[in-house]
Structure 1
């Protein structure tokens, strides 16, 4: 018996599915009566297989077929998808992880073994077990969780705690997890700048500028190395596994005399991995030369933690609070009035920080503080010097950024990955 399907399905199955057993079956002759005995292919029989003389014909003309390690299912048109490492490169280019606070845990936290293809990414602030179920429901291959689900070290993965269960189930279902956290806070045009848009036109400045010392993790040294074509490809993969970044091809030279192509690879490396990189390159026979230069890190403009908004025209505290509620989509917030302030008092400046802003806002001179949460005594310290405080609960100052982030990522990923904003993600606290 011969198995026939649309030509476009072959590369789709091979590059997207990575399910070798299914690919082997689809690439060989299939005896239709036994299709129902194959658990992955059985769902195809009622809808896609029919007998035509001696042919078994697979016709995914109305809906496309997606083969997943979890199950085989059908649905409407899907995104083309990208390799995980390419998605991560785009995410790092948008918000470099070295912008994050030193105490933070950001980047690719969970990576399924082998190659991993991403067609659907779920955006969430908190990856809870409920959100994980949603990720599986929408058939996501990757979750971008703003808060890192792995923060404190996990000594076991036995499933006794909800954090352990998250990681175990993610690995079982080949779900990659990426967390940007404070890199988005510091980023120019990131989450904190989005929060500042609540007040309309204003002059916005960074409270705590990212310092060069905070940027050193992206590389003390700039390295360029020359290898022959095939060795360059293999070395690029090895170097990516050591440094986490893919080297850039900056030049290719053809040598007609010995019919080879010399490739120059370029990348930034840290002092910690420099020796590993050099040892890796030394194993390639075509390795001709490596040039190493030290680099000086400089701060990026408009990056750092917290923002100070100075209004062109004064507004009342009551109006400022209403703007915050509308921007965040909240019916209620908490307000602590500074000494000598009433709701009708006018203000001209707001210092803000998404999430927990106590340490970032401490000592900043402003008429109002806006953040998710502060301790009781931090609020007392602020109001005592005449600063009013608006608290919205931690994740409520962050969640509204996700639809904006979705639009950014759709464009940066060239519409190859379907981006879904979680509907299950919500702040655990309610004001009744």
Structure 2
């Protein structure tokens, strides 16, 4: 691989998903920039950057880590060895590894994480639940009109197969059952309750919701499927790997973490 300059790679990332699509509260873009010049030959993708994942990235000789969730979110007042997030920053700087986070810009962009999650179900159309003011094709969440017949049981099976997870949490609407026909679905990767709430759909699909948010849905006869937060996002990395390799003209090696996983497990 011949490699590319860091800023050239960052420009391609922002070309795919402009940072202005991210929430105003979010911390996105280039978060750690080593001293110039910085050439990028190896890009490493992960949903969450932990110390174990960073060890894997170092083993892969990563020049740039793209972490979907921003590891730096709350302000850091010092960089010591005291906390794991401080150690992440210190190690990246020591190893001259750049760090980029797209987070909610990937949620909003057409062809991003929400659309990948939508692909788990057969649908005739999708529209953003909260459209972007500049381009209505982009925006938060997706409202799906299902194509053909789809029962709740079918939806559960398809979602598990698409995301590659063994278990999902299911809450069934008060007047529904597993054989209820699903005609409309509201989708939001991650923690989607606030985005999904205004949608009038038969089914909500997201990563996580609180007890009371789920209870409110079931009493409105909306069934809910929860994948766990990062399980509703992580599978997109393999799709993005191909997109990024193509946009960088295959001049950069792109790999996906095999260590990164949702912290919650079902026993």
What SS does the corresponding residue of 1:308 show, helix, strand or coil?
A: strand
Does 1:169 find its partner at 2:91?
yes
Which of 157, 160, 167 is matched with 1:322 structurally?
Answer: 157
**Offset of residue 301 of structure 1:** 3.4
Q: Over residues 44-76 of structure 1, what are the superposed CA-to-partner deviations in whole Å (9 max), with x where a residue is unaligned?
A: xxxxxxxxxxxxxxxxxxxxxxxxxxxxxxxxx
The match for 2:235 among 400, 411, 427 is 400
**TM-score, length-scaled by structure 2:** 0.99
Would you say how many aligned residue pairs link Structure 1 and Structure 2? 267
- CA distances 1:123-169 after superposition (whole Å, capped 9, x unpaired): 00000000100010010111000000111101111121100000001
Secondary structure of the equivalent of 2:182? strand
Alignment TM-score, normalising by the size of structure 1 = 0.61
Q: Kindly state the Cα deviation for residue 431 of structure 1 after the two structures are TM-superposed.
A: 0.8
Q: Offset of 1:363 from its aligned partner?
A: 2.7
Separation in 2 of the partners of 1:200 and 1:341?
20
Note the C-alpha offset of 1:416: 0.6
State whether structure 2 residue 254 is matched by structure 1 residue 419. yes
- Structure 2 Cα separation of the partners of residues 306 and 409 of structure 1: 23
The runs of 4+ residues in structure 1 deviating greater than 4 Å are: none
Pick aligned residue for 2:18 from 81, 86, 96? 96
**RMSD of aligned residue pairs (Cα, Å):** 0.8
Structure 2 stretches of 5 or more lacking a match?
none
Mark the structure with the bigger radius of gyration.
1
Structure with greater proportional strand content: 1
Q: 2:128, 2:136 within 8 Å by CA — same for their partners in 1?
A: no
What is the CA–CA distance in structure 2 between the aligned matches of 1:201 and 1:175, rounded to whole Å?
41
2:2 to 80, 86, 107: 80
Whether 2:136 is the aligned partner of 1:301: answer: yes
Cα shift at 1:314: 3.0
Higher relative contact order (CA 8 A, sep 6+): 2
User: Which residue of structure 2 aligns with residue 149 of structure 1?
Assistant: 71
* Offset of residue 312 of structure 1: 2.4
**Equivalent residue of 2:88, what SS?**
helix
SS at match of 1:382: helix
- Please, which runs of 5 or more residues in structure 1 have no aligned partner? 1-78, 212-298
Q: Distance in 2 between matches of 1:177 and 1:194?
A: 24
Mapped to 1, the partners of 2:137 and 2:36 lie a distance apart of 38
Query: Map of 1:180-199 to 2, 5 A cutoff?
Result: 180-199=102-121
